[in-house]
Amino acid sequence: MDAKEELEELRIKYNTFSKKECDEETSKKYDKMLDGKHPEGILPEDVEYEFDYDNQKYKYYYGSQSKLNKDEIQEFIGYKTIELLTTIKNCVLFFTICTVIGAICFIISLLSL
C-alpha cells in the first residue's frame, strides 16, 4: 500500500473523507468504460469500484472531501493525538500498578518462608 492509499484510508477512518455510491446512470456509464465501449475510455481517478456478488454487478464510489478546512483538520488531529496519548498513559499506569502489586506479593511470599 503506498502513502496516498494509506492517507485515503485514514481520511475515511477518521471521517475527514467519505466514499459515496454513484447513482444508477453514472454506474451504467462507468460499466461501459470498463468494457471499453465508452469514448472517454478509463474511469476518473477519484472513482473506485468493487464487485457486488449479491447483485452480480459493479458498485462505483467517488470520494468526497469533508467540509473541514485545513486548520480544523489540524485541530482534529491534535485532539485525536491527545486522546490516544491519554489511552497510552492509562495503559502504562495500569501495568505499572500491576507490577508493583506483583512485586509486593512476591516480597510477602519470600518473607513468609
Q: Which of 26, 30, 55, 51 is nearest to 40 (CA)?
A: 30
**How many domains in the chain?**
2
Quick one: 59 and 17 in the same domain? yes
| pTM confidence score | 0.48
- pLDDT digit string, tens, across residues 81-93: 999 999 999 999 9
Query: Max CA-CA distance within the chain?
Result: 87
Quick one: 77 and 59 in the same domain? no
- pLDDT digit string, tens, across residues 9-23: 777 777 666 677 788
Quick one: 108 and 54 in the same domain? no
Quick one: 73 and 59 in the same domain? no
Residue percentage of the chain with pLDDT more than 90: 27
Quick one: 21 and 50 in the same domain? yes
* Residue-range definition of the domain harbouring residue 111: 68-113
Answer with the residue of higher pLDDT: 87 or 54. 87
**Can you say how many angstroms the Cα of residue 33 is from the centroid of all Cα atoms in its chain?**
29
Cα–Cα distance measured from residue 57 to residue 29, given in angstroms and rounded to the nearest whole number: 13
Quick one: 98 and 47 in the same domain? no
CB 60 within 8 A of CB 24: no
